Amino acid sequence: MVTVRRMDPSEWPAARAACIDAFDEPGIPELLDMLHSSWGWSDDLAFVAERAGEIVGLVLFTPCFVDAPERVVQVLVLSPVGVRRDVQGQGIGDALIRGALAELASTRAEPAVFLEGIPSYYPRFGFRPGGELGFTKPSTRIPDRAFMVYPLPSYDPSLRGALVYADAFWRADAVGLRE
Ligand SMILES: CC(C)(COP(=O)(O)OP(=O)(O)OC[C@H]1O[C@@H](n2cnc3c(N)ncnc32)[C@H](O)[C@@H]1OP(=O)(O)O)[C@@H](O)C(=O)NCCC(=O)NCCS
């Protein structure tokens, strides 16, 4: 039985550890710490998966911007999402992402969630290629298929423009690493 909910601030060390274990990539601790200490951090935008009293997964959302023709629009970027390695492949990531997106849909004003990620994984949640909806990638290093967007309830199809990442992603050199 998995529970998906907003992270309590006191749970950050356990959530951070679960996410680092998920990736086993040297850049992840720095990215997590940059995001956690950035201007855009909000405890409301961190979601955990809990099973048997343990934090086994974490997904973070960070306020970023679409540089639209007439104005700058705040959006969210999903990154990173990780499930502890010993419990991967059991539906926890699925529950975590679906639960977090549903919660964002009912509580946040941003029109969309963007990500760069595995093209075969995210469409099941409703993510669509960003280019098809008129958005431009924040880096040419991101393959077109990896640049995706999930419209939230306030999304208006007339929204267009370039996604601009928050500085934490650049400072952690965590942009455009996907194959
Ligand atoms: C990706 C991740 C969050 C998914 O969580 P999970 O609990 O293992 O996933 P679930 O059990 O809910 O779902 C399993 C599905 O995810 C797919 N999946 C998991 N990792 C994948 C990957 N790297 N590439 C493509 N698909 C992947 C599985 O193939 C499976 O698909 P199926 O349902 O069609 O069989 C988790 O595997 C993880 O933390 N991986 C390491 C970190 C990572 O790669 N994060 C995402 C970066 S974009």
**Which amino acid residue places its CA nearest to atom 10 of ligand 1?**
91
Mutate to test the pocket of ligand 1, among 96, 121, 169, 178 (most ligand atoms within 8 A of CB): 121
- For residue 117, which atom of ligand 1 is closest to its CA? 48
Mutate to test the pocket of ligand 1, among 88, 115, 148 (most ligand atoms within 8 A of CB): 88
Q: Are strands 112-116 and 72-83 parallel, antiparallel or unpaired?
A: parallel
pTM of structure:
0.96
> C-alpha 28: how far from its chain's center?
13
Using alpha carbons only, give the angle 172, 178, 179 rounded to the nearest 5 degrees.
150
Q: What is the pLDDT of residue 19?
A: 98
pLDDT at 44 over 80: yes
pLDDT at 178 over 80: no
Name the DSSP letter for residue 69: S
Q: What is the pLDDT of residue 24?
A: 85
What would the CATH number be for the domain defined by 2-171? 3.40.630.30
Query: Are 94 and 2 spatial neighbours (Cβ–Cβ below 8 Å)?
Result: no
